[in-house]
Amino acid sequence: MALTGMDIFKLLPKTNCQECGVATCLAFAMKLAAGQAELDACPHLSAETREKLEEASAPPVRQVIIGTGEHALKVGGETVLFRHEKTFVNNPGIGLFINDAMSDQEISQKLEAFKKLAYERVGLILKADIIAVKSQTGDAQKFTTLIKKVIDAGIVTLALMAENPDVLAAGAQAAAAFRPLLHAATIENFDSVVKIATDNKCPLVVKGTSLDEVAELAGKLAALKFKDIILDCGSESFVKSFQDNVIARRCAVVQKLRTLGYPTIVFPCLMTDDPLYEAVIASAFITKYAGIIILSEVQGHNLFPLALQRMNIYTDPQRPMATTEGIYEVNNPDENSPVVITSNFSLTYFIVSSEIESSRVPTWLLIKDAEGLSVLTGWAAGKFSADSIAPFIKKSSIEEKIKHRKLIIPGAVASISGELDEALEGWEIQIGPREASALTPYLKNWKAA
């Protein structure tokens, strides 16, 4: 059961030293209970108190990290049933399934597609995250050879699957440096597989034939202080697996049932032979509530729509999506190219940069940080005003890149042109079109002198 702010306060040192950045221990306790502070902010907790508070402040679905460094895949960490209640936290990982019975050619093609397919949208890279490598033959040598081939291809976020614990151990050792996810501890092999995961410090899937069995295994594993657990409800039926995912999430979030409070892994690749239906199944699991979704193929026709759906659902609805402030070069601009400025609301950036790109006019695009607000909203909030644009222009190195001093502002904020003219000495402020769709003819007719 989660602790209240007062429960947490009783466990704090009560010195009000403020090292956590909060005025009092009570205020810190309240923030912690509301999920607005990190336990690490207080350096004065005993190991025992920390353990108690960690347990109490952990999200209902524990966050699990697979892999290491920049390739690490974070899943779980979820606190709500519905995205509009707060936000979903970590994207579900999209994975590709391969096994050691596939031909070299088939594997090479799949790895190539996995590495190559990436899409940039509103400043984010959409791509697949993890490869599930299965020992189909039961031959440890073949399994480790395949794992090494995947690693040599530069793919190091892995789920290793083998029914025989000895084969799984060989695979875990071959990829130990990359902290792969091991699949799976079952009732039959529990002790031996848990030992492999513990020895290699790897996260582990518990797999059962029912949700009850999975909960029992997860509870047994948690009692051993093993925290990095992923649940596999074991069903190859979409309907059953979907039900299990929904029940597991409800039990974790609503009932606070710790034994089901872990991310899940699902295998649409094993649920159908129809690629289209497989994509539909994966789409359902993005919505509810898989942590990792393994596909038989990663190709443009399934990866792009799934990754886009995932981005839309897992974007925090309370925070506008923003692009990094800076100078963006579109169509290789030079010293005589026009300079266009807009706000860093991602959708604005995406639309304006796409229009400029399709105009083929070399252009400097300046993106001003307006805290992710659109041009008009940013202007109304004082984030895209003459006062804030002028210092940004001066601080940016745009003056070193161009000979002219002409700045094109969005037509929607034409009213700031006078103020901006005064604030930006030596610059001529030009009023661009209100709509991005009119940028092409505008830029084509634009002249530096």
Interface pattern 44-63 for ligand SF4 (x via CB under 6 A): x-------------------
Stretch that binds ligand SF4, among 8-16, 268-276, 330-338, 415-423 (CB under 6 A): 8-16
Q: Which amino acid is at 278?
A: E
Coil/strand/helix, residue 412: helix
**Where does this chain touch ligand SF4 (CB under 6 A) — which range of 17-25, 105-113, 243-251, 283-291?**
17-25
Nearer to ligand SF4, 20 or 132 (CB): 20
What's the token pair of residue 146?
């395949």
Looking at the Cβ atoms of 53 and 436, the one nearer to ligand SF4 is: 53
Residues 310 and 91: beta-carbon distance below 8 Å:
yes
Site for ligand SF4 contains 218 (CB under 6 A):
no
Q: Which of 201, 216, 215 is nearest to 250 (CA)?
A: 215
Nearest 5°: CA angle at 217, between 212 and 219?
A: 95
Question: Smaller CB distance to ligand SF4: residue 22 or 307?
Answer: 22
Describe the crossing of helices 165-174 and 140-152 by its angle, rounded to 10 degrees. Answer: 30
Stretch that binds ligand SF4, among 14-22, 154-162, 167-175, 189-197 (CB under 6 A): 14-22
Site string for ligand SF4, 26-45 (x = CB under 6 A): --x-------------x-x-
18 binds ligand SF4 (CB under 6 A): yes
Among 7, 16, 137, 440, binds ligand SF4 (CB under 6 A): 16
The residue range among 7-15, 64-72, 237-245, 323-331 that interacts with ligand SF4, by the rule CB under 6 A, is 7-15
Partners of residue 329 on adjacent β-strands? 364
Which of 6, 10, 17, 308 touches ligand SF4 by CB under 6 A?
17
Q: CB under 8 Å to 79, separation ≥6 — which residues?
A: 35, 59, 60, 61, 86, 89, 253
Distance in angstroms (rounded) separating the CA atoms of residues 170 and 189: 16
Beta strand 339-343 pairing with 326-330: unpaired
Taking the least distance from each CB to ligand SF4, the nearer of 14 and 319 is: 14
Stretch that binds ligand SF4, among 22-30, 184-192, 288-296, 299-307 (CB under 6 A): 22-30
* Amino acid found at 385: S
Contact 271, 284 (CB under 8 A): no
> Least distance to ligand SF4 from the beta carbon of 316, Å?
27
Instruction: Report the amino acid identity of residue 235.
Output: S
Binding flag, residue 25, ligand SF4 (CB under 6 A): yes
Stretch that binds ligand SF4, among 10-18, 73-81, 332-340, 352-360 (CB under 6 A): 10-18
Count of residues that interact with ligand SF4, criterion CB under 6 A? 13
Q: Which of 6, 10, 19, 391 binds ligand SF4 (CB under 6 A)?
A: 19
3-state secondary structure 355-381: HHHHHCCCEEEEEECCCCCCHHHHHHC
> Residue 124 and residue 137: Cα distance in Å, rounded?
38
Least distance to ligand SF4, CB of residue 203, Å: 31
Q: Which residues contact 420 (CB under 8 A, 6 or more apart)?
A: 386, 389, 390, 407, 409, 427, 429
- In angstroms, give the least distance from the CB of 52 to ligand SF4: 14
Both tokens of 42, joined, read 């207080």
Binding site for ligand SF4 (CB under 6 A): 12-13, 15-20, 22, 25, 28, 42, 44
